[in-house]
Structure 1
Amino acid sequence: METPLIVTDFLEQARTYYADEEAVVATDGQRFTYAELGERADRFSAALQERGIEKGDRVAVLDPNTHYHLEAAYGTMQVGAVFTPLNYRLTADDYEYILSDAGVDAIYADYEYAEKIQAIRDSVPTETFITNDVDAVDGEWEAFDEVLEAAGTEVDRPEMSEDEIITINYTSGTTGDPKGVCRTHRTETLHAYLVSIYHELSEDDVYLWTLPMFHVNGWGHIYALTGQGAKHVCTRGVNADEIVDAITTEDVSFLCAAPAVLNQLIDYYESEGEPAMAGDNDVRVTTAGSAPPEATIRAVEETFGWKLKHLYGATETGPLITISAPSRHVTDDNRFELKKRQGMGILGTDVRVVDEDGDDVPRDDETLGEVVVRGNQVMDRYWNKPEETEAAFHDRVEGYYHTGDLATVDENGLIAIRDRKKDIIISGGENISSIELEDTLFDHDAVADTAVIPAPSEEWGETPKAFVVPVNGDPDDPPVSAEELTEYTRDRLASYKVVRRVEFVEELPKTATGKTQKYELRQQEWEDEERMIGQG
């Protein structure tokens, strides 16, 4: 028997079987059951329909990880409108671009970010503006709670098909202008099922929202956790002291954190006299993006006592397409090395690493190829960008999404991301992995954070340059010299891989999800050059 896969069924499941269970712990201390969360979502749905929002219209949500975000998301999707979450760290110009590109009809914006929308509201097609604190925002805005109170709970629920677009998630902008990633009911639902399996979710879980809900719908957790009847613990930001307090007081069992966030927690633990890092529940954590250094994994697992997994994917892929090594491959000798790998393709997902001709690279863990993938969780298309969609799915291999990430494959079929195509440094004809250099530099006690990019070189075409955040935070008086870091890499890597240039900086440009925006560093470094040699 075939039934349609519809994302609003996750909330219906929770309302049916967990109505009286605690669903959400709000940032202000309020607590809502699933029955109450459902009613508030219904009221938001009714309010949208009263304001003329229909099936297929786009509704944007600009909010940190609060209960309002969850209510607005489900309230939007229940009327068949397209949930369009926005990165809350963007500029007003960015929002003008996205709201216009998506043709957004209504927006809910948290009071802390609404002023950026206010600055461009006359330049966008949006007509309905709602915030959670009108007194904190200039201009004509409607108050979220007052809107809900006046709306009632009667909702005209349209017929929906699993192949219809229900969310548009804009890429994080690590490679230029954001693109709207279109995801259907089907892709979101099947991805949520996969998340439930590989993150081992259950009704007993208490999830701490450190991962932005706007980021691929919180990696699908707004669906998966809700459908399981688990508890959402909301946050307004990522502060180490608040994270640790929430973990211990709310008995958090699961969270997601970029390597940079894990390092914040390690620093806090060491500076605050080794506080408790768990409540009554054992803690699981999933990290993504660049592989965390071994020292980070060791601290999280051995010092905190948490269980760590490393996933890999992109906004276009759900994101989940691979997970770090299965336990049967792990030994005492290789545990940390395998947890740094992006690992194995998950169920129903065809992950390949292919050469320029589209052929699979050998399983020698040395030959680089591009990661391509197809699966039910992969996006439908880019919004209003047919040429970009065509290129993304039909470059080296027909019908596969091309990630732009370069990887090797070991004898067990486990992949390891070595670089992005454009981040490979081609120096004197030799390919150099910036990730390998970053991992090496990160092991130095004086390096808090680093990013390595290709810099122009008259002799070699390109040469590796490292931007380094020193541990003392002072780029003018770092505890290590550039020459010492160069020698440090020389002692540990092949001679052609040595970092030739080092620039100390106070911080690196980051996205909201902790990714280093290398393109900003490259633009800065190559602004006087006509082109970048060896750019993929």
Structure 2
Amino acid sequence: MRRPLLVTQFLERARRNYGDQEAVVATTGERFTYNELADRADRVSKALQERGIEKGDAVAVLDPNTHYHLEAAYGSMQLGAIHAPLNYRLLPDDLEYILNDCDAKAVIADYELAEKIEAVRDDIPTDIFITNDATETDGEWEDFDEVIDGVGPDYDEPEMDEDDVITINYTSGTTGDPKGVMRTHRSETLHAYLTSIHQEISDDDVYLWTLPMFHVNGWGHIYSITGMGAKHVCTRGVDAETIFEAIQSEDVSYLCAAPTVLNMLLDYYDSHDVETTGDSDVRVATAGSAPPEATIRTVEDEFGWYLKHVYGATETGPLITTSDSRRFFDDDSEDRFAVKKTQGLGFLGTDVRVVDEDGNDVPRDGQTIGEIVVRGNQVMDRYLGKPEATEEAFNDRVEGYYHMGDLATVDENGMMRIQDRKKDIIISGGENISSIELEDTLFEHPEVSDVAVIPAPSDEWGETPKAFVVPESGDPDDPAVTEDELTAFTRENLASYKMVRRVEFVEELPTTATGKVQKYELREQEWEDEDAMVGQG
């Protein structure tokens, strides 16, 4: 029997089986059952429908991890409208590009973030503006609670197919403008199933929202936590004190934390007398750069948490591999660190390979480097309006596989370990940063003659942008500009997380015979004391 896979079925199951159970602990102090969460989502659907939103329309959500985000997401998707979560760290110009690219018909924004939309309001195709506190927002915005209080829960549900696009998640623009990753009901649903299995999600889990919901729909947890009938604990931001407090007060059992968040927790733990668990055992998922062994050791041996290292990309769901392979280590063995620092093995139903330039699998020797490619049901449908980029992404070395752009080795157990990057991407604190974008910005400074930006190792962020600058003066000892001035210049012209954090003035950059900058030499120089040229601390 074939039943279409629709993301709306996650909330339907929760309402049917866990209607009277607590679903959400809101940042406002309110608590909602699954019946109440579903009713509010239904009213969002009705309100949007009354305002003209139809199947296929994009509804953008600019919101931290609040209950409003969950309600807006399900309220949109129940209409067959496309949920388009926005990175709240972006600048107004970035948001303007995205909202025009996806032709957003509505924006639902947090009151603290609405000013970013207000700044470009006249330059986007949007007519519907809703915020969670209109009294705190400049401009003409409807109030979220007033909007849903003014309608009933009965909306007209359209016919939907599992191959319909239901979300657009934007990349970080590491190779030019951000690309809209188009994902279907089917790809979202199957990724959520896989996440539920590999992250061992159950109905008695209490999930703390430290991972931004805009990050590929919070790695699919808006679906998996909901569908399993577990509890969402929402947040307006992430800091160590509130994380430890929530773990205690709400008996949190599961959270996600980029290596930079883990470092933040470790620093707080070292200087404060805190309890690291409530009554439940805690497991934590980390992604992006592998945390250093010392971090894993403290998290597991001192915090008493169980760490899972996972890997993927916006285009792939994102999750495609896990290092949580317990047949290859004992929980109390030193061997576990070597395994948990790898990107690991492919998820169920996911064909992950490391191939050479001819598309052949590299040997399992832990030495030979190739590119990671993947095919699976969780991989994106296509890029919005970019057929050439889509074609290249799926057919560069191997036809029909998405090419990750990460270079890795494979050991005798089939576990992958990233060694370097095919593209000039910097992953700092879980955020992708384009070295090209940083270089272009620095080139605008009158005292910069030439520049190359690479990832440099960082204990705090895994890796951080470093610029090698040839000054206009030609003299690195007298560059006529300071490191702090160039850092401030990038901060003024880019989103804050993208700014360059280290600068080294040089007489010249290493180049090939044709004048192309050899960034590999700079990376080798920066990472010579590290295990690999990827942010592993």
Do both share a fold (TM > 0.5)?
A: yes
State the alpha-carbon separation in 1 of the partners of residues 501 and 217 from structure 2. Answer: 26
1:136 aligned partner, one-letter code: E
- Verify: 1:320 aligned to 2:319, yes or no: yes
Q: Please identify runs of 4+ aligned residues in structure 1 that moved more than 6 A.
A: 518-530
Partner of 1:402: helix, strand, or coil?
strand
- Verify: 1:532 aligned to 2:514, yes or no: no
Q: Indicate the larger mover: 379-388 or 448-457.
A: 448-457
The change in CA–CA distance for 1:162 and 1:172 in structure 2 (over 3 A counts) is: same
The change in CA–CA distance for 1:448 and 1:63 in structure 2 (over 3 A counts) is: closer
Tell me if the contact between 2:365 and 2:410 (Cα under 8 Å) persists in the aligned partners.
Answer: yes
Partner of 1:3: 3
TM-score (norm 1): 0.83
Partner of 1:93: helix, strand, or coil?
helix
- Verify: 1:276 aligned to 2:275, yes or no: yes
TM-fit CA distance, 1:451: 3.5
State the alpha-carbon separation in 2 of the partners of residues 517 and 311 from structure 1. Answer: 24
Partner of 1:422: helix, strand, or coil?
coil
Q: Indicate the larger mover: 322-331 or 397-406.
A: 322-331
TM-fit CA distance, 1:271: 1.0
Partner of 2:189: 189
- Verify: 1:294 aligned to 2:293, yes or no: yes
State the alpha-carbon separation in 1 of the partners of residues 3 and 248 from structure 2. Answer: 41
- Verify: 1:115 aligned to 2:100, yes or no: no
TM-fit CA distance, 1:334: 1.7
1:312 aligned partner, one-letter code: Y
Q: Indicate the larger mover: 392-401 or 519-528.
A: 519-528
1:156 aligned partner, one-letter code: D
The change in CA–CA distance for 1:519 and 1:351 in structure 2 (over 3 A counts) is: farther
Partner of 2:423: helix, strand, or coil?
helix
The change in CA–CA distance for 1:393 and 1:136 in structure 2 (over 3 A counts) is: same
State the alpha-carbon separation in 2 of the partners of residues 448 and 145 from structure 1. Answer: 38
Partner of 1:399: 400
State the alpha-carbon separation in 1 of the partners of residues 424 and 186 from structure 2. Answer: 33
Once the two structures are superposed, residues 35-61 of structure 1 have per-residue CA deviations (whole angstroms, 9 ceiling, x without a partner) of 000000000000000000000000000
Partner of 2:464: 451
Tell me if the contact between 2:259 and 2:461 (Cα under 8 Å) persists in the aligned partners.
Answer: no
Once the two structures are superposed, residues 68-126 of structure 1 have per-residue CA deviations (whole angstroms, 9 ceiling, x without a partner) of 00000000000110000000100000110000000000010000100010010110001
1:451 aligned partner, one-letter code: T
State the alpha-carbon separation in 2 of the partners of residues 65 and 218 from structure 1. Answer: 9
2:36 aligned partner, one-letter code: E
User: RMSD value over aligned CA atoms?
Assistant: 3.1
Partner of 2:341: 340
2:398 aligned partner, one-letter code: V
Partner of 1:415: 416
2:518 aligned partner, one-letter code: I
Is there any run of 5+ residues in structure 2 with no aligned partner, and where? 427-453, 471-482, 522-537
TM-score (norm 2): 0.83
Partner of 2:136: 136
Partner of 1:296: helix, strand, or coil?
helix
Partner of 1:267: 267
TM-fit CA distance, 1:533: 2.8
Partner of 2:37: 37
Partner of 2:165: 165
Partner of 2:139: helix, strand, or coil?
coil
TM-fit CA distance, 1:448: 7.7
Is there any run of 5+ residues in structure 1 with no aligned partner, and where? 426-433, 458-474, 477-503
The change in CA–CA distance for 1:298 and 1:116 in structure 2 (over 3 A counts) is: same
Once the two structures are superposed, residues 260-313 of structure 1 have per-residue CA deviations (whole angstroms, 9 ceiling, x without a partner) of 00000000111113x101111110000000000001101100010000000000
- Verify: 1:68 aligned to 2:68, yes or no: yes
2:183 aligned partner, one-letter code: R
Partner of 1:377: 378
State the alpha-carbon separation in 2 of the partners of residues 524 and 131 from structure 1. Answer: 46
Once the two structures are superposed, residues 489-524 of structure 1 have per-residue CA deviations (whole angstroms, 9 ceiling, x without a partner) of xxxxxxxxxxxxxxx989x99xxx99x859998999
2:6 aligned partner, one-letter code: I
Q: How many pairs were matched up? A: 474
2:517 aligned partner, one-letter code: M
Once the two structures are superposed, residues 357-389 of structure 1 have per-residue CA deviations (whole angstroms, 9 ceiling, x without a partner) of 111111111111110000000000001111111
Partner of 2:284: 285
